[in-house]
C-alpha cells in the first residue's frame, strides 16, 4: 500500500496543500485584532517598520523584551511587503501553519509511506486547534514549526541506520530559530524530550557520536548570538531579566497568571484532538505500536517526543492551551498510521455497543439543538441571537458526523468514514472562524480608533489611561502618537527607564493637561471612567463609547 487508491503522489500533495491554504486563509483578514495578544504583536511590528528600529522591539515607544526578535521581524517584513492590515499580520502564522503541515507530510513519508503521509496531512490541516492558533497573531505557530522540524531532523539525521549530516545541521538550525522565536524553551524542550528518548531506547553511544557538537554549536551560535549580543549592549540587564524572570520564574512561580493543576493538559488534549478521540480502535493500535515494536521504532520516538512536551509543560505552573500546539503534528502522524492499519486489516468485528450508544446520543443532542433552540438559549445565556446561526451550523456538523460515522461503522468501511470526518472537520473550522469574528467586538478598539481618526487634528494629544493591555491595537488603528497614563500592566516594570519616561505621564500630569488649552483625547475602560472623581468627569465629555470602553475629550 504505497498511496491512496487511484491517487498519485503529486495529487495527494496538491490536495493537502489546497485544503490547508483554503482553511488557513479563509476570511483571515476580516476580523480585527483581538487584544491583548494580537494587538501587542501588531503594534510592535508596526512601530518597528515606522521607526526603522530593528534590534529592540517597542510597544507604545517602550522596549518590549519579554520575547525574542524573530516573530517581530517576520510580521514587520509582512507589513513592508503587504502594508499594515490584519491580513498581512496573520499571514505570518498562517504560512508557518501551512509549512508545518508540509513538514509533517514530508517527515511521515520518510518514516512510513505516502498513504500515511497523505492522511496525516489531512488530519493536521483540519485540526480545529492547529488551524485556529495558526490564524491568530501569536508566536506559537512559528515556534511550533521550528520545534517540530528540530525533532524531525534529529530522527532522520541521528536515529536511522545511516547518518545524514544535512539533517543534523538542520536540527541545530531549527533549535536556534526556535530560540529566536520564543526563547529558552526552544532548547530546553528538545533537550528534555531527546534525553527521555535516548534513555528509554538505550542509544546514547550511537547517537552521541553522530551529534557533531562542535559544528552544531557553531551553527547555533551564528544564528542566535548576534541579536542577543546586540540587545544586551543596549540593555545591560537584559539577559538576567529575560532568562530568570521571563522563563525560570514563570515556570516555577505561582504568582503569574494562567495557573492550572499539573493534569490540566491531560484533561484538555482529548478535546483538542476531536473528533478522532471518540474512535477507540485507532488509539488501541497506537498503544500496540508502543507495546509490540522495538525500542528503536518510529512510533516510540513520536510517542516519547509528544509525551515529553506534555510532561514538560505540565510541570510548569503557568499553562496556556497554545503551548500544546507542537504535539498536534505528532498525534496527527500517529493517528494517520493507526487509521491506515485499521483500514488495511479485514474488519470482522461488528460496531461496539458503546459506539452505537455514543453516536445515537450525539444525534439526539444535535437534533434537540436544531429542533428546540430556545431550550439551549435558556440553558446557555451566551447564546445570543447572532450566535444562534453558528450554533445551528455546529449542530448540523455534529448530526452529519454522528450519522455518517454510525453508518460506516456498521458497514465496516474505514476509508469513507475517514474522509467524511475530514470534510466535517473542515466545515466546522470555518464555522469557528466566523464565531470568533462575530464575538470580537469587545476585544478590539478598531471602531473607536477609526472614529477618532476622522476627527483628530494637528496639535491634539491622545492618551491611554492605566493598563494598555486591552487597548494594544489602538495606536495601530489610529496611526497617531499615543502616550500612556500611569504605565500599568506588563509594561510597568519599565517604569523609570528613559524610554518609559518619554512616553508616559503621571496621573497628576494628565489631569493638569485636561485643564489646559490643548485638545486631549483619552481611551479608558468604562469602569475606570465611572470610578473617576465627579469633578474630573464633569470637565470632560464622552467622544465615543461601547460596552466596555470610552474615549473622552477635554
Same domain, 397 and 293: no
In a domain, 517, yes or no: yes
Total number of domains constituting the chain: 3
Helix (H, G, I), strand (E, B) or coil at 115: helix
Q: Please give the model's pTM, rounded to 2 decimal places.
A: 0.91
174 neighbors 182 (Cβ within 8 angstroms): no
Taking only the tens of pLDDT, the chain with its 554 residues reads 444 445 677 888 899 999 999 999 999 988 999 989 999 999 999 999 999 999 999 999 888 888 899 999 999 999 999 999 999 999 999 999 999 999 999 999 999 989 999 999 999 999 999 999 999 999 999 999 999 999 999 999 888 777 778 999 999 999 999 999 998 889 999 999 999 999 988 888 888 888 889 999 999 999 999 999 999 888 887 777 777 666 666 666 555 566 678 888 999 999 899 889 888 888 888 888 777 666 568 888 999 999 999 999 998 877 889 999 999 999 999 999 999 988 877 555 556 667 777 777 877 877 776 666 666 666 566 656 666 666 677 777 778 877 887 887 777 788 888 888 898 888 888 888 877 777 777 889 999 999 999 899 988 899 999 888 889 999 999 999 999 998 887 787 777 777 777 888 888 888 888 888 788 999 999 988 888 888 788 888 899 988 889 999 88
Same domain, 306 and 173: yes
- Pick from 491, 524, 496, 530: nearest CA to 510: 524
Same domain, 134 and 176: yes
Same domain, 327 and 367: no
Look at residues 415, 440, 465 and tell me which one is the last residue of a structural domain. Answer: 440
CA angle, corner 550, sides to 546 and 552, nearest 5? Answer: 140
Look at residues 293, 314, 343 and tell me which one is the last residue of a structural domain. Answer: 343
| Whole-Å CA distances, 523 to 119, 449, 492, 544 | 49, 9, 18, 9
In a domain, 135, yes or no: yes
Same domain, 224 and 337: yes
399 neighbors 366 (Cβ within 8 angstroms): yes
Same domain, 337 and 354: no
Q: What 8-state DSSP symbol labels residue 489?
A: G
Give 36's contacts (C-beta < 8 A, 6+ positions apart): 469, 470, 472
In a domain, 214, yes or no: yes
In a domain, 255, yes or no: no
In a domain, 46, yes or no: no
DSSP string, 302-355: HHHHHHHHHHHHHHSSB--GGGGTTHHHHHHHHHHHHHHHHHHS---SPPPHHH
Same domain, 417 and 454: no
CB atoms within 10 A of CB 291: 8
Look at residues 440, 467, 497 and tell me which one is the last residue of a structural domain. Answer: 440
In a domain, 41, yes or no: no
CA angle, corner 339, sides to 424 and 124, nearest 5? Answer: 50
In a domain, 39, yes or no: no
Same domain, 104 and 144: yes
Same domain, 405 and 515: no
In a domain, 37, yes or no: no
HEC profile for 411-456?
A: HCCHHHHHHHHHHHHHHHHHHHHHHHHHCCHHHCCHHHHHHHHCCC
pLDDT attached to residue 24: 96
pLDDT attached to residue 152: 96
17 neighbors 449 (Cβ within 8 angstroms): no
* Residue-number span of the structural domain to which 514 is assigned: 445-553
Same domain, 81 and 220: yes
Same domain, 23 and 170: yes
pLDDT attached to residue 350: 57
Same domain, 214 and 264: yes
Amino acid at each position: 500500500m504505497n498511496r491512496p487508491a487511484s491517487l498519485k503522489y503529486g495529487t495527494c500533495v496538491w490536495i493537502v496543500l489546497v485544503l490547508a491554504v483554503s482553511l488557513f486563509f479563509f476570511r483571515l483578514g476580516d476580523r480585527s485584532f483581538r487584544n491583548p495578544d494580537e494587538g501587542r504583536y501588531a503594534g510592535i511590528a508596526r512601530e518597528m517598520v515606522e521607526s526603522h528600529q530593528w534590534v529592540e522591539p517597542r510597544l507604545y515607544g517602550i522596549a518590549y523584551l519579554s520575547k525574542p526578535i524573530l516573530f517581530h521581524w517576520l510580521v514587520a517584513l509582512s507589513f513592508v511587503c503587504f502594508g499594515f492590515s490584519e491580513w498581512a499580520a496573520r499571514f505570518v502564522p498562517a504560512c508557518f501553519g501551512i509549512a508545518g503541515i508540509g513538514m509533517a507530510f514530508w517527515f511521515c513519508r520518510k518514516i512510513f509511506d505516502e498513504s500515511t503521509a497523505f492522511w496525516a496531512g489531512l488530519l493536521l490541516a483540519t485540526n480545529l486547534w492547529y488551524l485556529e492558533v495558526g490564524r491568530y497573531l501569536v508566536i506559537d505557530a512559528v515556534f511550533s514549526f521550528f520545534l517540530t522540524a528540530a525533532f524531525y531532523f534529529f530522527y532522520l539525521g541521528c536515529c536511522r541506520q545511516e547518518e545524514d549530516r544535512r539533517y543534523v545541521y538542520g536540527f541545530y538550525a531549527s533549535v536556534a530559530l526556535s530560540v529566536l522565536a520564543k526563547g529558552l524553551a526552544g532548547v530546553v524542550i528538545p533537550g528534555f524530550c531527546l534525553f527521555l528518548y535516548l534513555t528509554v531506547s538505550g542509544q546514547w553511544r550511537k547517537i552521541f557520536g553522530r551529534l557533531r557538537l562542535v559544528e552544531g554549536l557553531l551553527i547555533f551560535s551564528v544564528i542566535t548570538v548576534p541579536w542577543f549580543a546586540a540587545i544586551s549592549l543596549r540593555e545591560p540587564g537584559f539577559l538576567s531579566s529575560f532568562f530568570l524572570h521571563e522563563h525560570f520564574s514563570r515556570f516555577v512561580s505561582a504568582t503569574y497568571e494562567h495557573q492550572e493543576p499539573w493534569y490540566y493538559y491531560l484533561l484538555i488534549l482529548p478535546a483538542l484532538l476531536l473528533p478522532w478521540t471518540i474512535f477507540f480502535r485507532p488509539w488501541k493500535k497506537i498503544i500496540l505500536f508502543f507495546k509490540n515494536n522495538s525500542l528503536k521504532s518510529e512510533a516510540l520516538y513520536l510517542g516519547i517526543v509528544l509525551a515529553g512536551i506534555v510532561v514538560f509543560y505540565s510541570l510548569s505552573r503557568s499553562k496556556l492551551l497554545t503551548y500544546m500546539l507542537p504535539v498536534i503534528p505528532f498525534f496527527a502522524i500517529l493517528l494517520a498510521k493507526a487509521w491506515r492499519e485499521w483500514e488495511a486489516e479485514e474488519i470482522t468485528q461488528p460496531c461496539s455497543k458503546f459506539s452505537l450508544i455514543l453516536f445515537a446520543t450525539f444525534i439526539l443532542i444535535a437534533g434537540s439543538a436544531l429542533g428546540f433552540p430556545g431550550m439551549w438559549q435558556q440553558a446557555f445565556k451566551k447564546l445570543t441571537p447572532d450566535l444562534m446561526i453558528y450554533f445551528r451550523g455546529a449542530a448540523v456538523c455534529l448530526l452529519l458526523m454522528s450519522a455518517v460515522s454510525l453508518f460506516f461503522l456498521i458497514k465496516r468501511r474505514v476509508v469513507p468514514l475517514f474522509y467524511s470526518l475530514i470534510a466535517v472537520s473542515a466545515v466546522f473550522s470555518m464555522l469557528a472562524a466566523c464565531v470568533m469574528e462575530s464575538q470580537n467586538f469587545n476585544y478590539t478598539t478598531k471602531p473607536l480608533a477609526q472614529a477618532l481618526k476622522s476627527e483628530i487634528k494637528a496639535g491634539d494629544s491622545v492618551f491611554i489611561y492605566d493598563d494598555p493591555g486591552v487597548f494594544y491595537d489602538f495606536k495601530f488603528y489610529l496611526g497617531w502618537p499615543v502616550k500612556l497614563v500611569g504605565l500599568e500592566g506588563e509594561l510597568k516594570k519599565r517604569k523609570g527607564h528613559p524610554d518609559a519616561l518619554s512616553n508616559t505621564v503621571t496621573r497628576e500630569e494628565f489631569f493638569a493637561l485636561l485643564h489646559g488649552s490643548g485638545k486631549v483625547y483619552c481611551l479608558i475602560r468604562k469602569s475606570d471612567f465611572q470610578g473617576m472623581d465627579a469633578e474630573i468627569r464633569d470637565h470632560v465629555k464622552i467622544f465615543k463609547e461601547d460596552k466596555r470602553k470610552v474615549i473622552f475629550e477635554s
